[in-house]
Amino acid sequence: MSRLKLTLLVILSFASAGLRAEVMVDDDLGNSVRLEQPATRIISLAPHLTEIVFAAGAGDKLIGVVSYSDYPPAALDIPIIGSYNSINYEALVALQPDLVLVWNSGNGQELAARLEALGLTVFVSEPKRLPDIARSLNKIGILSGTVSVAEKAAAKYLTRYQALVADNSSKAPVNVFLEVWHEPMMTVNGTHIISDSIELCGGINIFADALPLVPRISVESVVRGNPDVIIATGMANERPEWLDNWLIWPDLSAVKSNSLHSINPDLIGRHSPRILQGVTQLCDYFDRARKSLALNPIKPIDRL
């Protein structure tokens, strides 16, 4: 555990009835989460947390999830207790979970506080950089008693992440606009994990300095930023029709270089191991723009 620099603690204590394995980790807000024994009844309140639980080898311990928890396919068989921003508290409590996984920026701190007030044990997730996903895997593996599976999944993830870093560290920077939605027009700022993905691929998020995590912006501000690449996420695999609205601005660098692309939001916006699929796609789009714009390599950037 020390090699991952995680604040993780596993305490073994003996009780009169036999051996009891108490587990404790710090969540992503620095709160200590302690269980008398590894969780056997877990509720996930975000699709990315559902994916991480399965990847950590604890999918069989999930007893409740929120809507859009659709990966892996086995997640579709788990009861739904609401959406990430609208939870059925009665249904949740009735399931008698011993661990509830909460997404801070999605569910909100008030929800976590309310669950704790009900006497439930809560782990708050808020990955901000790509390596944080490996830490999430390890922490949930400890809380669920599936450490060996979780460690292997985390190591596999980090190996692939480091390979992507090495492959993209010397590529010329490209200015990028990530269009989360079109009406209202929304993007992400520099503290969002998607922005970290953009940076890994050698991109510069033109709205990195915006104050909200997911700011609303105007067409004019995008035109002023003159991105070399425009990426739309939309709602699914299909290319959003509104992406081609940018064609009315022929002087945009992204239009000139034919760099209007889309990525499935599940592969770039979810804080799960699958995000590296989206990152790989993102890096490929940037490479196409570099070729079209005839950009030259730069001195490698150290992210390892």
Can you say whether the dihedral through the CA atoms of 126, 130, 134, 135 is positive or negative? negative
CATH of 2-158, one of 3.40.50.720, 3.40.50.1980, 3.40.630.30, 3.40.640.10: 3.40.50.1980
| The token pair that represents 203 in the structure block | 């991109």
Specify whether the CB–CB gap between 171 and 290 falls below 8 A: yes
Examine domains 2-158 and 169-293 and report if their fold is the same. Answer: yes
**Domain residue spans of the chain:** 2-158, 169-293
Whether the upstream peptide bond of residue 47 has omega within 30° of 0, thus cis, is: no
Please name the fold of domain 169-293: Rossmann fold (3.40.50)
Helix (H) or strand (E) holding 23: strand 18-26
Q: What is the pLDDT of residue 298?
A: 59
Q: What is the tens place of the pLDDT at every residue in 156-205? A: 999 999 999 999 988 999 999 999 999 999 999 999 999 999 999 999 99
Q: How confident is the model at residue 297 (pLDDT cuts 50, 70, 90)?
A: low
Residue 8 has pLDDT above 60, yes or no: no
The pLDDT of 75-98, averaged and rounded, is 92
- Give residue 14's pLDDT: 36
pLDDT per residue over 217-238, tens digit each?
A: 999 999 999 999 999 997 777 8
pTM over 0.75: yes
Phi-psi region of 202 (alpha: psi -120 to 50; beta: other; left: phi over 0): left
